[in-house]
A = this chain, B = another copy of it.
Amino acid sequence: MPHDRLERDARPETATFIRHLEASDRTLSDEERQVIDEAISHFIDVDADVDVVREHDRPTVSSLLVSGWACRYNTLADGRRQILALHISGDFVDLHSFPMKRMDHSVATVTRCRFAIVPHENLRRITEEHPHLTRQLWRSTLIDAAVLRQWLLGAGQRSAIEHAAHLICELYTRLRVVNLADETSFQLPLTQTEIGDALGISPVHTNRVIQELRRLELISLRGSTVDILDWEGLLKLAEFDATYLGLEPNREATS
């Protein structure tokens, strides 16, 4: 079942999430930082390929990913699987279960992961006492939705290679924000089958698309290392525009 080990731990690991919120809003107060920190009840470690939350669950806690890769996914009766989101350090994988209550999809680890667990009761208290922080949490669920819109645009309108290029641009950009990508490369710990489940294409075609990206000298992909060989070329092929990731400073009277 979900969590296979759990332990109390120190707090510096919330730093990634805070960096994340601040990537779009530099106005978090020290108090707010502390509130986030104190909202965490404990940390858990979960092995790779384990369901953390399942469709139809009604979680009473939300999980902030501290390290590792996780995904949201849904399946059809005959086994067809769509990955709905990929998550990295600093992502709140199921914050939406707080206002929504019931899960409409599952969340699984891709690699071994560490999560900071935030009880919904603590989130509720934040909404009662910290409206600005509440808006930032709300905002972080809306950035998930913006990513989802790009995935839908990709699945519906982009060719497989354009869609794949867009995913690489997105992941690279997001990993840079949390300092998990070098200047020209990053680790992508997904099998080609998993990449295909995210893009909505078969594993065989995923392989051919990757080969085509290599042939065009846009990326190299050996093992789990992606090297960006031609960022401009990737951007152009993917029509990637990072605006939707909400990274620009967001100073607003109403923020």
Contacts and interface: CB of A to CB of B under 8 A. Distances in A.
A244 B155 contact: no
A127 B120 contact: no
Contact of A157 (B82, B144, B145, B146): B82
B101 A156 contact: no
Interface in A94-123: 96, 98-102, 104-105, 120-121
Which label, helix, strand, loop or mixed, suits the secondary structure of the A interface?
helix
Interface stretch (A130-138, A178-186, A213-221): A130-138
Nearest to A79: B157
Contacts of A250: 101
A239 interface: yes
Kindly list the 7 A-B residue pairs having the minimum CB-CB distance in the complex, ordered from nearest: A156-B200, A104-B244, A155-B155, A99-B139, A145-B145, A80-B157, A82-B156
Contacts of A138: 99, 138, 141
A78 to B, nearest CB: 9
A77 interface: yes
Interface string A176-207: 00000000000000000000000110000000
A69 interface: no
Nearest to A196: B156
Interface in A134-171: 134-136, 138-139, 141-146, 148-153, 155-158
